[in-house]
Amino acid sequence: MLTQNSKLAKVSKEPGMTKTINHFLINDSWYLVDLPGYGYAKTAGKSDRASWLTFTKEYFAKRQALVCVLLLVDGSISPQQVDLDCANWLAEAQVPFAIAFTKCDARKKSGPTPAANIKAFKAELLKDYEQLPACFETSAQLGQGRVEVLGYLASLRQLEAAEGGDFL
Ligand SMILES: Nc1nc2c(ncn2[C@@H]2O[C@H](COP(=O)(O)OP(=O)(O)OP(=O)(O)O)[C@@H](O)[C@H]2O)c(=O)[nH]1
Ligand SMILES: [Mg+2]
């Protein structure tokens, strides 16, 4: 959705399709990196799951070129512990991150709206933290939040460049 190229990243009905670390070079200037997520972890065997967790944590904590982690949280369902744990881990580790609530167009037949799910998720985070990370409401189907997310990432990259950071 961010690149307006639906063929770039593989999409699947069941989570777990993204099995490798995919670097997408944007405008010959920065990388959007798609990592395997919990979907992969769920389908992987025990030892693959363990190495996924170690790799991902190390990547977030140590990758010099990392400007921001975008944590994608499904906005069409109620807050999930796994997402809260991940947000908490990133905050504790002082990894710069933002939350993109996805599927804001979608709503389960009976149940809360994406707006209510997002509100509940933020309330959970605020139990432990005074400040929320930057949050975006997005929909790949509608293109919602695209300009906001790209603008936010651009401002972070500019900041890094001004500080002489090694952002590539
Ligand atoms: N309605 C709606 N569906 C979406 C949206 N974004 C993604 N989906 C659907 O959600 C499903 C999963 O999308 P993926 O992009 O494969 O999700 P992922 O988290 O990358 O999954 P893996 O990498 O396979 O673990 C697909 O069926 C998508 O079409 C959205 O904004 N709105
Ligand atoms: Mg994927």
**6 assigned to some structural domain:** no
> Would you say residue 5 lies in a domain?
no
Q: By the 8 A CB rule, do 87 and 69 touch?
A: no
How would you write the pLDDT of the chain (168 residues) with one tens digit per residue? 999 999 998 888 888 888 899 999 999 999 999 999 988 999 999 999 999 999 999 999 999 999 999 999 999 999 999 999 999 999 999 999 999 999 999 988 888 999 999 999 999 999 999 999 999 999 999 999 999 999 999 999 999 888 876 544
Return the ∠ at Cα 141 (arms to 137 and 146), rounded to 5°.
Answer: 45
The domain tally of the chain equals 2
Range of the domain at 94: 67-163
43 lines ligand 1 (CB under 6 A): no
- Note the pLDDT of residue 168: 47
Whether residue 29 is contained in a domain is answered as yes
| Residues 39 and 121 placed together within one structural domain of the fold | no
Residue 3 forms part of a structural domain: no
Reading the block at residue 89, the tokens are: 């881990």
Phi and psi at residue 3, to the nearest 5°: -95, -5
> Interior CA angle at 106 toward 32 and 90, to 5°?
40
In a domain, 28, yes or no: yes
Note the residue count of the chain. 168
Q: Do the Cβ atoms of 96 and 68 come closer than 8 Å?
A: yes
Q: Give the residue whose CA is nearest to atom 15 of ligand 1.
A: 11
Q: Are residues 106 and 131 in the same domain?
A: yes
For 67, 133, 151, the CA distances from 102, given in Å and listed in that order, are: 21, 16, 17
Q: Are residues 38 and 78 in the same domain?
A: no
129 and 142 inside one domain: yes
What CATH code is carried by the domain that includes residue 92? 3.40.50.300
Question: Are residue 75 and residue 157 in the same domain, yes or no?
Answer: yes
Q: Which ligand is nearest to the CA of 140?
A: 1
Instruction: Report how far ligand 1's centroid is from the alpha carbon of 50 (Å).
Output: 24
If asked whether residues 110 and 46 sit together in one domain, one would say no
Assess if residue 50 is contained within a domain.
Answer: yes
Residue 63 exposure: Cα atoms within 13 Å on the Cβ side = 17
Q: How many angstroms does the Cα of residue 130 sit away from the middle of ligand 2?
A: 31
Q: How far apart are CA 127 and CA 70, in angstroms?
A: 21
Give me the pLDDT at residue 131, please: 95
The pLDDT score that the predictor gives to residue 165 is: 60
Looking at the fold, whether 88 and 28 belong to one and the same domain comes out as no
Residue with tokens 């982690």: 69
Check if the beta carbon of residue 76 is closer than 8 Å to that of residue 120: no
